[in-house]
Structure 1
Amino acid sequence: MSQTTDILGPGPERPLAPRSSGGLAARAGQALFGASPAGWLMPILRPYSARLSLLLLLGLIAACIGLVPPYLSKLVIDQGLMAGNIDALVFWSGTLFAVGLFAVGFGALNNILHMRASVRMLADLRRTLLDALIARPPQWYGAQRAGELLARIDGDAGEVQQFAFNSVLGGLSSIVRLIGGTAMLLVLNWKLGLAAAVLAPIELAFLIWARPRTERLAGTARSARGRLTAGLSETLHGMPALQLARGTDWARGRTVMDQGALNERLMIQQGWTEFIRAVPQVLSALLRAGIFIAGGIMVIQGHWPLGSLIAFVAYMGFMIGPMQSLLGIWHAQARARVALRRLDALMTTGPCQTDSVAAACPDAFDLRLEGVSFGPDRTHPFGPVDADIRHGTKLLLTGPSGAGKTSLLMLVLGQQRPISGRVLVGGVDVGSLAKNTSAGIFAMVSQRPIIVQATLRENLFLDDSLVNSPDADDKVWAMLDALDLGDRFRSAEGLDTVLGENGLTLSGGERQRICLARALLSPFHILVLDEALSEVDTARVSAIMAFIDREFAGLTRIVTTHASVESYGAFDQVLELSGAARCR
């Protein structure tokens, strides 16, 4: 079995989803999807068991209905046409039409219910994957490509959902049609029926031989698609910068190369797919031709009714078609398992932080750094850093570029772990805090503001307590006025002003101040400003910091800046990072 290259890091450290325990369903899931993917996929499928059962019942009924028309055709020919009986001809023809009309309506209902359940299951699968990504710490994303992650959530999730949903329904329906068709063949002519059944082991042996290559080609095509999507995402996201840097030709060349590599792999995969599809079809055509010759001789010699031969050939389709469908599902599983391995890397690889972490909630918010060493290079770490920061302190974190200021802030926020030492808030290790607890303690604004294509109101991500208050809009406008943004948006569409993706419709300073407003409107005890006003002019910085110092004087404020420190006002404490950290 081939292995796809994975950019998501080394093997599992801690699962992000509960693992299913024993039982028939669990064992079936492990057989279909693999032990690790089944652990998080089966809980997604389990709520749909009732709907799947209903759809399964409807599919079985539809399969049984589908077995009727060939036999009715036999009666039309043998009891109507060949017997010269007009009454029988009209009756059986009318019955055939009625059954066909019922089958059309029943099939339409089944398809609508199937689509409704299918799209909901896909939405649940993607929501689970997104939750897994949300649980990743910031440093994890440094090694990822957004387009590759998008390809997994989009294409791989669709492949898995389609197999997980359709394989059960289509597989069992095919089994019913296969059993029913085979039984009718034996009823019509058991000798020819046994001859037709010989086709099954031949096709099975061929597909067993072909399956490993199917899985290998699916893996290479998935990887090539991920590279193309990742490259396009990077190009579109950085297009303004690429245009200014004259990098568009390079970006175009990379896209053409990635697309060419994908096209080559898709053509190879399609050629192989057509080959493994053609072989069973050729074998089926040979069998059908042999049945027509042998059965035709029997009809000519008067040993077999013509209607029976026509019905026999039709029921051969009920045997051959479902048999090929089942073998096709088996090959689809090979492709689905490739996609599952790629998704399993999202669900199980690397450290994570989940709300299930049990930790004491601090009742005080003094910060203490005890011998903290940190950084990407464990052999030459930053630190050690020791500091006591009383709640309500305004702290300047300073040092040259590359001294580890942002990395130390990630430790304070609990989004990274130190190499050695501890970071405590109120005596509790920040690394042990549950995500929802730390979100209520810290608010952070970074140098790179995050703006989504949505309204200003939505971009502020208002806290529920503020949204539900009767004067929510008044509080928001007061904050915007304090940050010198009120007039800018009153002249537009107010809080319903739509902001472009990544804030491209805004200046750099406006993006930073919107993110600052978002942080200040949320509940917090410790505010972290990491170069948060680097694109705001000095006069505005002074006014904004004076506002923060006045309105949030009782809360801790941690600031890093390469700009004029004087514009930030007076600081209670300075923590300097330069070789060995000093706190004064």
Structure 2
Amino acid sequence: MSTNQPEQPAGVSSLWRLRGYLRPHALALVVMALASVGGVALSIAIPLVTKAIIDGPITDGDLGALLPLGLLALGLGVLEAFLVWLRRWVQSGAVLGLETQIRHDLYAHLQRLPMAFHARWQSGQLLSRVTTDLSAIRRFAGFGLLFLCINILQVTVVTGVLLHMYWPLGLVVASAAIPIVVLSMRFEKRYVVVSRRVQDEQGDLATLAEEGAVGIRVIKSFGRAEHVSRQYEAAARTLHGTSMDKVRLSAKFWTFLEVIPNGAVAVVLLLGALGVGRGELTPGELVAFITLLLSLVWPVASLGVILAMSQEAMTAAARVLEIFDTEPTIVGGDRVVAEPRGHVRFEHVDFAFPDEPERLVLRDVNLDIRPGETVALVGATGTGKTMLTSLVPRLYDVTGGRVTVDGVDVRELDLAHLRRLVATAFEEPTLFSMSARENLTLGRDPLVDPAGNDEVEQALEVAQAGFVHDLPWGLDTRIGEQGHSLSGGQRQRLALARAVLAEPKVLVLDDTLSALDVHTEALVEEALRRVLAETTGLVVAHRASTVLLADRVALLQDGTITHVGDHRELLETVPAYRELLAADAEDPADQHGAGARA
């Protein structure tokens, strides 16, 4: 499995664990059950009325008694049709409500799971669980489960009636159940395996499709369209092959299910005709017997569809429960900072990824950022700068030491409260398929603290993102998925404006200006100085110009902070720092001058 998750066996227990979602629909379930039982009773009663008509008025030539019985049969047929309509009407609302609630809870649970979980799982696998798997559960809950119960009830009751009417033929019908049960057990064991493979391969294919859409610019720029097409085609062919295995298995089973009841009908017709000839059966009893037997053909023939549907639903439930069973490792506390100032401290912080606990990415990091102070974080690529900034809003949790905001361990703070205090603008900005205004105001709760037009304009000015007014519909222009309709610099500026508009007490800038040209960068930095003067700032920097935004600089080497000081001091005393920034200036003298101007 592509997610590297343990494959769980699908079973009835997987569906049973979702039973809590049925409780709000208890009344609907009762109505469905009563309508179904009534329908089965009427389907049995109508052939018995037919028997009475044939053996009574028709045989005796009593036309006066024919009309009441005929009207009775008609009334029973109309009532049966009404019960079918009632069952389906109630069933549709209940099943759609069930699917909607599971989908809501699943998506909400995904939002609670930490970044480490999302880093392990392919997005296509998650997508297939939220869409395809939930649809499989809905189909079984709305059709398969109901008809499985109805069909079992109908087969049991009708067989009992047939044994009571004429036991030799009843035994023929009952004996036909033996090969059906044996075949069903063998089918179920094989089908559950191939069904799981199909659903996992659908998730892999969805991942490739999504990556092809999101990464279309990279694919086109490198001329690798044929390469990714071959990858997609190979995955599609694998899915096709597994799906055909599934179809072949189902076709064999369904063929036997069609042959067995039809063979039973042929035997019953032969033996029934002999019974009528010998006087052991009346013509009405034979007609009723055959009518009741034919009513069993659909329940038996549909068994293959229902069993296939049940296996898909149980597999889908197991896959959905893999997500529900993943407990969030980052859980908020119950504390809030009454009067937040934005004082951030890293105290002997260690961090390692959960799947590599022995390899520390950060070790014994100590840093104190005073309220209103801006600290630039400088280090070579791969030294853990982004990871360090991710610890403040708890995108990841420390594995040693602690991070505090205003003296409170971030693990003790309410998560929503913490993430209102801290806003982050990432180097690789993420924009959503919504309007520019909605992307900008994403960091503000419209019900608690809606952003006014003046605040939006100020944030756009700080980020030099006034280009949004030149879009076809201004701020109401819908930005394409991932913001691919914008340049890299435009996306960064919108993301920066979004972080500024959140009005945080702590502003984290993860190399947010890397895609800007020199002129725009200078304008943004000038505006940012005014913003950072009123908030605590943690800035990941690779350029000397960005470093100059900071009051102090922290040098991160091999996962730990080795030096903290102002820009000029570090240039003069720390060769490693000087080398990191050397590429951004023509010579050290320029940087000394820049440091002096700072």
Taking structure 1 as the reference length, what is the TM-score of the superposition? 0.87
Taking the TM superposition and a 5 Å limit, the aligned residue runs for 1:139-538 are 139-319=116-296, 321-322=298-299, 329=306, 332-349=309-326, 351-354=328-331, 357-363=332-338, 364=340, 365-376=342-353, 378-379=358-359, 381-462=361-442, 472-486=452-466, 488-489=468-469, 492-538=472-518
In structure 2, the residue corresponding to 1:570 is in which secondary structure? Answer: coil
When structure 1 is superposed on structure 2, of 296-305 and 89-98 the one drifting more is 89-98
Aligned residues: 557
In structure 2, the residue corresponding to 1:346 is in which secondary structure? Answer: helix
Change in CA separation of 1:426 and 1:159 when aligned onto 2, cut-off 3 Å: same
Change in CA separation of 1:518 and 1:470 when aligned onto 2, cut-off 3 Å: closer
Structure 1 residue 164: deviation in Å? Answer: 4.2
User: Which amino acid letter does the alignment assign opposite residue 233 of structure 2?
Assistant: V
Structure 1 residue 568: deviation in Å? Answer: 6.4
Q: 1:583 maps to which residue?
A: 564
Structure 1 residue 153: deviation in Å? Answer: 1.5
When structure 1 is superposed on structure 2, of 193-202 and 118-127 the one drifting more is 193-202
Q: 2:575 maps to which residue?
A: none
**Does the 8 Å CA contact 1:10/1:349 hold for their aligned counterparts?**
no
In structure 2, the residue corresponding to 1:292 is in which secondary structure? Answer: helix
Percent identical among aligned pairs is 25
Structure 1 residue 156: deviation in Å? Answer: 1.6
Structure 1 residue 265: deviation in Å? Answer: 0.9
Structure 1 residue 440: deviation in Å? Answer: 1.6
Taking the TM superposition and a 5 Å limit, the aligned residue runs for 1:7-156 are 7-9=3-5, 32-34=12-14, 38-39=16-17, 41-156=18-133
Which whole-Å deviations, capped at 9, do the CAs of 1:108-160 have from their partners, x for residues lacking one?
33223212221221111112221221112223322222112111221122223
Relative contact order higher in (CA < 8 Å, ≥ 6 apart): 1
Change in CA separation of 1:419 and 1:127 when aligned onto 2, cut-off 3 Å: same
In structure 2, the residue corresponding to 1:460 is in which secondary structure? Answer: helix
In 2, the alpha carbon distance for the partners of 1:208 and 1:187 equals: 29
User: Which amino acid letter does the alignment assign opposite residue 255 of structure 2?
Assistant: A
In 1, the alpha carbon distance for the partners of 2:487 and 2:127 equals: 28
In 2, the alpha carbon distance for the partners of 1:64 and 1:147 equals: 47
**Does the 8 Å CA contact 2:464/2:523 hold for their aligned counterparts?**
no
**Does the 8 Å CA contact 1:527/1:558 hold for their aligned counterparts?**
yes
In structure 1, the residue corresponding to 2:371 is in which secondary structure? Answer: coil
Structure 1 residue 305: deviation in Å? Answer: 2.2
In 2, the alpha carbon distance for the partners of 1:471 and 1:223 equals: 43
Q: 2:585 maps to which residue?
A: none
In 2, the alpha carbon distance for the partners of 1:329 and 1:345 equals: 24
Which whole-Å deviations, capped at 9, do the CAs of 1:242-295 have from their partners, x for residues lacking one?
011111111111111111111111111111112122223322222221111111
Structure 1 residue 180: deviation in Å? Answer: 3.4
**Does the 8 Å CA contact 2:541/2:547 hold for their aligned counterparts?**
no
Change in CA separation of 1:468 and 1:386 when aligned onto 2, cut-off 3 Å: closer
1:542 matched to 2:541: no
Runs of 5+ in structure 2 lacking a partner? Answer: 566-598
**Does the 8 Å CA contact 1:64/1:176 hold for their aligned counterparts?**
no
- Counterpart of 1:561 (choices 535, 541, 544) is 541
Change in CA separation of 1:485 and 1:76 when aligned onto 2, cut-off 3 Å: farther
In 1, the alpha carbon distance for the partners of 2:382 and 2:526 equals: 29
Structure 1 residue 416: deviation in Å? Answer: 1.5
Structure 1 residue 342: deviation in Å? Answer: 1.9
In structure 1, the residue corresponding to 2:391 is in which secondary structure? Answer: helix
Structure 1 residue 476: deviation in Å? Answer: 2.2
**Does the 8 Å CA contact 1:541/1:568 hold for their aligned counterparts?**
no
User: Which amino acid letter does the alignment assign opposite residue 500 of structure 1?
Assistant: G
Q: 2:595 maps to which residue?
A: none
Change in CA separation of 1:52 and 1:6 when aligned onto 2, cut-off 3 Å: farther
In 1, the alpha carbon distance for the partners of 2:448 and 2:313 equals: 45
**Does the 8 Å CA contact 1:366/1:391 hold for their aligned counterparts?**
yes
Structure 1 residue 194: deviation in Å? Answer: 3.3
In structure 2, the residue corresponding to 1:142 is in which secondary structure? Answer: helix
Change in CA separation of 1:229 and 1:184 when aligned onto 2, cut-off 3 Å: same
Which whole-Å deviations, capped at 9, do the CAs of 1:469-512 have from their partners, x for residues lacking one?
79823432343344333453265323321111111222222222
In 2, the alpha carbon distance for the partners of 1:328 and 1:469 equals: 53
Structure 1 residue 7: deviation in Å? Answer: 1.5
In 1, the alpha carbon distance for the partners of 2:62 and 2:417 equals: 83
Structure 1 residue 527: deviation in Å? Answer: 1.0
Which whole-Å deviations, capped at 9, do the CAs of 1:77-114 have from their partners, x for residues lacking one?
44454444444555544443443344334423322321
In 2, the alpha carbon distance for the partners of 1:82 and 1:174 equals: 34
**Does the 8 Å CA contact 2:403/2:409 hold for their aligned counterparts?**
yes
User: Which amino acid letter does the alignment assign opposite residue 539 of structure 2?
Assistant: V
Which whole-Å deviations, capped at 9, do the CAs of 1:32-66 have from their partners, x for residues lacking one?
324xx755x23333322232222222222333333
In 1, the alpha carbon distance for the partners of 2:311 and 2:544 equals: 60
Runs of 5+ in structure 1 lacking a partner? Answer: 13-29
Q: 1:571 maps to which residue?
A: 550
**Does the 8 Å CA contact 1:186/1:193 hold for their aligned counterparts?**
yes
In structure 2, the residue corresponding to 1:454 is in which secondary structure? Answer: coil
Change in CA separation of 1:199 and 1:480 when aligned onto 2, cut-off 3 Å: same
Which whole-Å deviations, capped at 9, do the CAs of 1:10-46 have from their partners, x for residues lacking one?
699xxxxxxxxxxxxxxxxx98324xx755x233333
CA RMSD of aligned residues (A): 2.9
Change in CA separation of 1:239 and 1:570 when aligned onto 2, cut-off 3 Å: closer
In 2, the alpha carbon distance for the partners of 1:408 and 1:64 equals: 69
Which whole-Å deviations, capped at 9, do the CAs of 1:529-576 have from their partners, x for residues lacking one?
1122222223333333333332452321111132x3325643112111
Taking structure 2 as the reference length, what is the TM-score of the superposition? 0.85
